[in-house]
Structure 1
Amino acid sequence: MKAVRARRAACCLFLATTVPVEAAPRAVTRSGLVEGVQEGGVAVFRGIPYVRPPVGPDRWRAPVPAPRWTGVRPATRFGHSCWQAVSPKGFGPWTHEYVVAGDISEDCLFLNVWTPVKRAGPRPVLVWIHGGGFNSGSGAIPIYDGAALAARGAVVVTINYRVGVFGFLSHPELTGEAGGNPPANFGLMDIVAALRWVKANIASFGGDPGAVTIAGQSAGAMAVHELVASPAAKGLFHRAIGESGLPRALTPLDQAEAQGVAFAKEKGAASLAALRAMPAEALQPSQGANAVRFVPVADGRLLPAGPWRAASDVPMLVGLNADEGSALGEDYGSADPAKLSDLLRTSFGPLAGRAAALYPSSTESERAVANEQVRRDRGLGAIDIWAGRRAATARSPVYAYLFTHVLPGPDASRWKAFHSSEIPYVFGTLAASPERPVTTADSNLSAVVSSYWLNFITRGDPNGAGLPEWPALTQAAPRALFIDNVPQAKPLLRPETLALLREYAARGGEPSAF
């Protein structure tokens, strides 16, 4: 009997050892071999270093390619997010799936790749640049998970880049030691380095280095526009998407240097060397209305000074959400007549009196609606003005949208179509927050929105079979896609509002996107 049991055990052991085990996906990069994980029909590579860690003497220096490694490097976990203040539970309308959970470090320059396991030729590539006001954010945030888009045929890359003081400090000593490199904008240099990594390596992951789309939201969208204008990024991408962010006036380098000197003085650092010697936690900016906010500046090399010019003439998809201001200011939707008057003045300048006639305001409910509509209109006007200026140097089409759908969730009636609420629909990541009571209508809309984005990533045109037409933006009769349960192309603005905002811009005004 014992002999029979032994034979059975040996047989079972043999069967167990001969069952084929699916090999983990691998890819060869210029720095070495990486091994990811397979999740369904998608291969995922997390935490790939694309440059040398920017620590110690490399703090506030241009990125250097990652050193080579031997053997197989595991790429199964996200790398550290860049140093920043964190709120893991979220804040305002931004619940936990929108924010950095923790695990922050200066050693943070990693990227992540999602790619279809079954490959049918080179795939179009989406490189996502996170938002966060250039002071926070990460490529590991749950709503940026690229699995759903990869399952539909794209290769998705999310990246980290230095933020806050580590990414955007300017200082005379930095300018003096820059040599041939830009003297500031280290976070943007990181993004350019990531794009160079993509160009050199993405074919090993099934991606097409000749079909790269850069995309981002909020500060990420501003970075997209700055890369479109930057000679340093020319040729590294072929299409661009900017969600809820437009080009902005850049601080001149000398002013940013003065801010850097004041920051060093505040921290008790008499030199750049002293700043480099301080621990990361000691370099957090002070809070308050007068606190220094570190953002991209006109450094003269990476980002030219002067009027915006299109260094890269590529198709672009840009847009806003209907209620960008709901979480970005205390006065959104206010019925206070004085606040509406102030809003009209800041939105239309000397034309505020004429603008007031376009927004009924006799009752509290009318004033509340007007408060929201003025902000929405000036944002769409900013897109129109930007597109008109772009047309002077670019010939590729622009597709504009207004996302009006309300994402279900806590206080949805208060936040409405808030800043960044379109992202889970684009990425197909509505399930990243089980607490949100999403419906079949939400899932269906996500399939439509991601189809538009995938079409644009693939061809530079969002239109496709079964989708409502999305016309390219024109100056003669600008139309945009208004995105809700049934997307529909409509005039960008009422003719009288459009004419007034164009007159305001012609007089030197700058309509604000928010």
Structure 2
Amino acid sequence: MHDTLLQRTGFFLLAAVLVLAILAAGCTQPQPQPAAVQTTPVAAMDSSSSAAPVVQTDAGEISGIATDSMRVFHNIPYAAPPAGDLRWRAPAAVQPWTGVRDGSEFSASCPQKVTQDPKTVKPVISEDCLYLNVWTPARNNSEKLPVMVFFHGGAYGITAPSGSLDYYNGSSLADQGVVVVTVNYRLGAFGFLAHPELAAESSHNTSGNYGIMDQQAALRWVQKNIGAFGGDPAKVTIFGQSAGGTSTLIHLVSPESKGLFSQAITESGPFWQHGFAIDNAVTRAEGEQQGTDFAAGIGYSGPGTIAQMRQADMMVLVNATPWSPSPWVLMDTPHFQPVIDGYILPDSVDNLFHDHRQYPVPYMIGTTADDGITVSGRPELSVQQYEARVRDKFGKDADRILAEYPATNPDEVRTQLVRLKTRYDFANSAKTAAASMAKIQPATYLYRYSYNLPGQANGAFHGSENVMLFGLPDGSDPAVHQNITGYWAQFAKTGNPNGNNRADWLAFTSETGWYMDINSISVAKTGY
């Protein structure tokens, strides 16, 4: 499967891994049904048993899949379907079920605009999408294992991201002795629409951030239920890539995430306000204006707008999702993103990290060497357009930036845009966050992933670390796979990525500047 995926990497626009994920995804939506299977606690099941494992959750029993080394559970509901009157509300409790729910197949993906590229597979989408998946090692003891909860990327709505993709297969990580959880959460207008009427009906006088609330509901589910799957609720590491990485940053500062995790890993999660990031939060006023404009654009305005929109067909909202050309990433980007609402997100992540108001947990953060490769395949900018946009973005620093990133023709413009985006969206964000965390938490680790996949002309592109974190593509270097899965899992176990004879990863401080260059041979370096 992964060999086929790698052959298609030339088609990527954003978060190349996400397009890979679409190509690997199954497109059928499973229906829950009772199953006459053996009910055995997963942590106590003999590792050689082929019987379908069944686990009791707080809402009912769910069956999974048994392999030689793994117990896998898909399609586990953690919140009620957010449709109808529950659209644009905080996630509601799951309705308990009777019998045994079938957890052998993925759920539908959350509503989103999917790529129109005919070469990609389009996933089934549904508002009934708040499900998660669990991979837990098969073993013969009841020891509780560390837990790793993953939030996918995709700019909170671009190019069909989903936790319901086999591409995000947690087996490789779980083989390292951890329990892996992947999560669906609401996206685009469904997950991040802000509107004055929503604020008026909210007990917190706020709106937007429903997708982040979903993630928090999933983390609360983990606290209540992961013990039945062999996981330790006191040892939960959250991790995510791109928008999922930005989500980890939000959880590090959100009052509603306090106590739901003990460690965090941020993979290419942009937040720095001086970058070009599309995943930055907007103010409440900006978000509510965007929401009002969105509603008016599909014919809803005046009193009762939200009540009417809750009656609207899902696809009307999907198709109306506004996309606009971004001057920096050269691709269509959604307007909807997290909102600085004073409740879920009290202030910008940038300001909160600047003031050291994040939770001081053991922390890993990093980027890929070519994170700016999210722009291939889009129209070129002229040299004049490039220089004008640099001046608009950097103001008094523009001359210095243009001297550092000069371009004399369209090919050079594209190269320099990639370098600029890598530096100002990703690397500066990572180093800024690491420097802030290191002031209050000595177990802070910075990395750069620099491995180029075989046959891949785009270098260590945005999201390429997940290719090796969630699998081992044909022809790729097993040492890279072992390095990244080993470091991530060891960090989840101990709060320190070191151990098992891998290269020593020195903690980061602003004074020393140490980071780990992750490749076939990983090396500690300075000068990030």
Q: TM-score range by the shorter chain?
A: 0.7 to 0.9
CA RMSD of aligned residues (A): 2.9
* Cα pair distance change 1:451/1:292, threshold 3 Å: closer
> 89, 92, 116: which one pairs with 2:137?
116
* Cα pair distance change 1:449/1:39, threshold 3 Å: same
Question: Percent same amino acid at aligned positions?
Answer: 37
* Cα pair distance change 1:21/1:479, threshold 3 Å: closer
- Counterparts in 2 of 1:140-219, with a 5 A limit? 140-180=164-204, 182-219=206-243
Q: Which residue in 2 is equivalent to 1:35?
A: 63
- C-alpha displacement of 1:292: 5.8
Q: What's the secondary structure of 1:81's corresponding residue?
A: coil
Q: What's the secondary structure of 1:399's corresponding residue?
A: strand
> 461, 471, 486: which one pairs with 1:418?
461
- Counterparts in 2 of 1:494-513, with a 5 A limit? none
Please say if 1:126 is aligned against 2:148. Answer: yes
Q: Which residue in 2 is equivalent to 1:254?
A: 285
Distance 1:308 1:259 in 2: 24
Q: Which residue in 1 is equivalent to 2:104?
A: 76
> 292, 300, 303: which one pairs with 2:345?
303
Aligned AA for 2:73? F
Distance 1:340 1:288 in 2: 18
Alignment gaps of 5+ in structure 1: 1-19, 432-437, 494-514
Q: Which residue in 1 is equivalent to 2:309?
A: 275
- C-alpha displacement of 1:370: 5.9
Alignment gaps of 5+ in structure 2: 1-47, 273-279, 327-332
Alpha-carbon contact 2:438-2:508 (below 8 Å) kept = no
Give the aligned length.
Answer: 454
Distance 1:367 1:259 in 2: 31
Alpha-carbon contact 1:316-1:399 (below 8 Å) kept = yes
- C-alpha displacement of 1:31: 0.5
* Cα pair distance change 1:487/1:66, threshold 3 Å: same
Q: Which residue in 2 is equivalent to 1:243?
A: 267
Query: Which deviates more, 106-115 or 374-383?
Result: 374-383
* Cα pair distance change 1:362/1:110, threshold 3 Å: closer
- Counterparts in 2 of 1:485-500, with a 5 A limit? 485-493=520-528
Aligned AA for 1:388? A
Alpha-carbon contact 2:199-2:205 (below 8 Å) kept = no
Q: Which residue in 1 is equivalent to 2:360?
A: 313
Alpha-carbon contact 1:335-1:371 (below 8 Å) kept = no
Please say if 1:455 is aligned against 2:499. Answer: no
Distance 1:69 1:181 in 2: 33
Q: Which residue in 1 is equivalent to 2:325?
A: 289
- Show CA shifts across 1:258-305 (max 9, x none): 111111111112311111111000112144439861111011111102
Query: Which deviates more, 339-348 or 160-169?
Result: 339-348
Alpha-carbon contact 1:226-1:247 (below 8 Å) kept = no
* Cα pair distance change 1:282/1:237, threshold 3 Å: same
Alpha-carbon contact 2:438-2:509 (below 8 Å) kept = no
- Show CA shifts across 1:200-220 (max 9, x none): 000000000011000100000
- Show CA shifts across 1:469-499 (max 9, x none): 2111111121211122211111133xxxxxx
Distance 1:286 1:352 in 2: 30
Q: Which residue in 2 is equivalent to 1:500?
A: none
Q: Which residue in 1 is equivalent to 2:246?
A: 222
Q: What's the secondary structure of 1:452's corresponding residue?
A: helix
* Cα pair distance change 1:331/1:36, threshold 3 Å: closer
Alpha-carbon contact 1:182-1:302 (below 8 Å) kept = no
Aligned AA for 1:158? T
Q: Which residue in 1 is equivalent to 2:454?
A: 408
Which one has a bigger Cα radius of gyration? 1
Alpha-carbon contact 2:198-2:206 (below 8 Å) kept = no
Please say if 1:478 is aligned against 2:513. Answer: yes
Alpha-carbon contact 2:405-2:416 (below 8 Å) kept = yes
Query: Which deviates more, 469-478 or 342-351?
Result: 342-351
> 328, 341, 347: which one pairs with 2:375?
328
Alpha-carbon contact 2:115-2:122 (below 8 Å) kept = yes
- Show CA shifts across 1:149-184 (max 9, x none): 222211000010000100000011100111147532
Query: Which deviates more, 33-42 or 377-386?
Result: 377-386
Alpha-carbon contact 2:282-2:340 (below 8 Å) kept = yes
* Cα pair distance change 1:205/1:250, threshold 3 Å: same
Aligned AA for 1:297? V
Aligned AA for 2:95? P
Q: Which residue in 1 is equivalent to 2:500?
A: 465
* Cα pair distance change 1:362/1:159, threshold 3 Å: closer
What is the TM-score with the length of structure 2 in the denominator? 0.79
- Show CA shifts across 1:28-83 (max 9, x none): 11101111111221001100111111111111111112111122111111111101
Distance 1:318 1:54 in 2: 32
Q: Which residue in 1 is equivalent to 2:4?
A: none
Q: What's the secondary structure of 1:23's corresponding residue?
A: coil
Q: Which residue in 2 is equivalent to 1:7?
A: none
* Cα pair distance change 1:396/1:365, threshold 3 Å: same
* Cα pair distance change 1:330/1:21, threshold 3 Å: closer
Distance 2:299 2:415 in 1: 49
* Cα pair distance change 1:252/1:453, threshold 3 Å: same
Q: What's the secondary structure of 1:82's corresponding residue?
A: coil
- C-alpha displacement of 1:122: 0.5
Alpha-carbon contact 2:134-2:180 (below 8 Å) kept = yes
Aligned AA for 1:201? N
Please say if 1:106 is aligned against 2:127. Answer: yes
Aligned AA for 1:24? A
- Show CA shifts across 1:126-161 (max 9, x none): 100011110141112222101122222110000100
Aligned AA for 1:118? R
Aligned AA for 1:43? R
- C-alpha displacement of 1:357: 5.8
Alpha-carbon contact 1:225-1:246 (below 8 Å) kept = no
- C-alpha displacement of 1:345: 5.0
Distance 1:443 1:190 in 2: 35
Query: Which deviates more, 323-332 or 242-251?
Result: 323-332
Distance 1:363 1:293 in 2: 31
Distance 2:387 2:444 in 1: 33
